[in-house]
Chains A and B, each alone.
Chain A
Amino acid sequence: MRRFLYIVPLALFIALVIYFFVAMRGGYDPSTLPSAMIGKPVPTFDLPGPLVPPSYAGPRVKLGFSNRDLLGHVVLVNFFASWCIPCRVEHPVLMGLGPAADVPVVGIAYKDKSQDAVGFLNEYGNPYVAVAMDEGGRTGIDFGVYGVPETYLIDKHGIIRLRYVGPLTAEVVAREILPAVRTLQQSP
């Protein structure tokens, strides 16, 4: 019995390695995490916008939105947070999307405080046409967000078409996101 105890660490470790191995052999690449949500409608949500200090004088954006607001356009939903370092890496890419990309990006601040999210956007610039607060992370869970940043491509009918985990890079945007956007924009 006592001997058995000494085998426990090994057994646990073997289970862990098998798991890691299966995960990686399954082409495990976190940026293309298959999402059960692909092909399904955007989960229902109605999130408030961040509280903007009354003294705020920057450009206006829509504060708060719901899943119904996403209907009718091809749109990118970007989950971000002020506390998330990779979001800072991704941010210039979103800022660089610009009018030429011709796709609106809406931002959902995930598990973030209002003033922090506003501070983040004030400091680094705001790439979003609309910003909403998901303070409790409930909507993020409904979307299946694993970690921030995460980006979802939604078609005109409000169906999730693509999911990207981790910071977007200029290359990913040019190679994967924008072609998908174009295809969806042309389909009825």
Chain B
Amino acid sequence: MPLRDLYAHPCGDPGGGGVSAPVLSRRGFIAATALAGGGLMFDLRIASAQAAGGVLNAFVRIAPDNRVTIGAKNAEVGQGAKTMLPMLIAEELDIDWAQVTIEQTHADAAIFGPQSAGGSRTTPREWLPSRRAGAAARAMLVAAAAKRWGVEPATLTTRSGRVLGPGGRSLTYAALAADAAAMPAPELEKVALKDSATFRIIGQSIRGVDTPAIVAGKPLYGIDVSLPDMLHAVFVTCPAFGGTMKSANLDAVRALPGVAHVVPIKGDGAPESLVDGVAILSKSWWTANKARDALEIEWDDAAARAFSSETLAEGAKAKLAGKGEAEVLRSGDPDAAFAAAAKTVEAQYHYPFLAHATLEPQNCTARFADGKVEIWAPTQNPEAGRTAVAKALGIEPAAIRINLTRIGGGFGRRLMNDYMVQAAAIAKAVPGTPVKLIYTREDDTRRDFYRPAGWHRFRAAIDGQGRLTALHDHFVTPGTGGKAVRAGDASASEFPAGLGPAILYEQSLIPTNMPTGWLRAPGSNGVAYAFQGFLDEVALAGGRDLPTLMLELLDGATELARGPNQPPFKTARARGVIEKAVAMSSWADRARLPKGEGKGFAFYYSHMGYFAEVVHVAMAEGMPVVRAVWAAGDVGSHIINPLNAVHQVQGSIIDGLGQALVGQAITQVDGAVEQASFDTHPLPRITDAPPRIEVAFVTSEDPPTGMGEPALPPLIPALANAIFAATGRRVRSLPIRPEMFA
């Protein structure tokens, strides 16, 4: 079956004869529609509890056989959302998981509300709205049964997709479908939610909904989209970021066998939108890609070619030595604290640009016809893609239909939609013909939105008791005109701000032409390494270990405000995971490790999640080998799907080890990225995965938060600190190279 049939209108068409009863409430409405044949479709539009003006929508469809189809509104990128969001709805609808069929919805913020998959935001954003969606549908079914039996709704219960009444009476949801459609919808903020003690789905380990289809090799991904008469495309752009096209030998390429079209594309110059390039189209992607060898493009790229990693590093070094260009935070009296210090510690830390390296290369299929575009995209951020396509093509956003496919890895790469705009622009040149654009691996590595490199110069003041009294960080980050690049900002709330020590956080900017973007745990993935690595140095200089220093600092407050739409940072939750990690890793016994082995600790709070991790390394053949990792996390009151939660932590840990240990760094010469594939920008392999990863969750009273990111940031500093414990050598620059231990 072509993918189009799998994804088009997944929630079904009510068809003729349906009875629609939309009921508006103050914050949203529910429309329950009886389907021809006795089914019931609830169309639930609910104002998000957390984002005023935003709406969430889920579809619930009850078939005559009492099977329930739940629409999954967020794309599955490996984070588990396609399984988890329907779990929330099914729980409150009070059905059995075995009754549930899950369908991916298409992208439409007006119907479904936020559909981005990034920032570990799905769980906190949907925890209440999705459950309310299920609970509201259940309430209408109960009301229908109550009316039929002439009893009060409060006397009825539900179980496994049935309403149960006095005297052993029982009706399936399917049997109540038509009546329920005529019931008034409850007010969503007031709809009763289950007592969490009675949860039967939330908290259960449930396998990924697509796991059997993946194992069977079914075509689920963007790259698998197949449409009649489809052409395949490659898109060639300037290697140096910012170059524009002067001329190209288009006709020579057009003359090659198998080449259907060669299309010059004039972009707006913005990498997140559309850059200049040439598309080669063929019935075969392999043929199109082979034709690139004959393509000669003259670029106007003199200015772009002036950028290189070498000049960037020199610029950063010069800035680092001076005073910061801007103060991000000054609290307390850092000058006085340094003047009064018994001891000071200074160190510089650096981390490189990184690529996302999703295993499914960037790709997108688009068909342009009659001023409208239909898109099949593996995107983490479909509405941003719609906006970008509309702008680039000069069409209305409403003229764009975006079908969501399963995504072969995102890690933030697919929060950008450059490949979607490119596919749409190419499709516009061949109206009526669907075009599937696929990047080569080399395109993918060299056209990323990279995790920005960073440089930190730290100073710490320590008093006579070994306590940290002041911390100064001068952060040099890519940017211009007073504005750091995307994902390159300094944060004024960086630990231990607000917890007692005087703080001076400064920032300076260096210009780059590298497009940057959000990589898993953006803003935290590099900064956590630098700060927790340096604080390990501070702790040891003060005669204590890092967990002890952290617990001392966390005594400075009970909670710290984190700005609008962010819950406060709670020190008790941080202490909870630190104590758990220390206990589960036998931290206190680490002095007994043999020579050449060591344990390191780090804690980090990001994306609303608290994680403390301990890494055990042993030196082998001149490089550190990770023997074991212990991770303790607090992501709130419930672990919605424990199986997937553990998977996310395991993956984050090995991802972090890969960033540090296998040689990942993106570098630039003549304005272009040097690395091209997995030989020069390696990913961790099974041989790099530690034999032992232990994960524990500490639950707290706050609502559940996301799992995609917060386990990653503490891993790298815990590793770096373990390497110091094992070897006496500080890892102050990433990636870790064997030369360091020579």
Partners in one complex: no
**B interface residue numbers (CB < 8 A to A):** none
**A interface residue numbers (CB < 8 A to B):** none
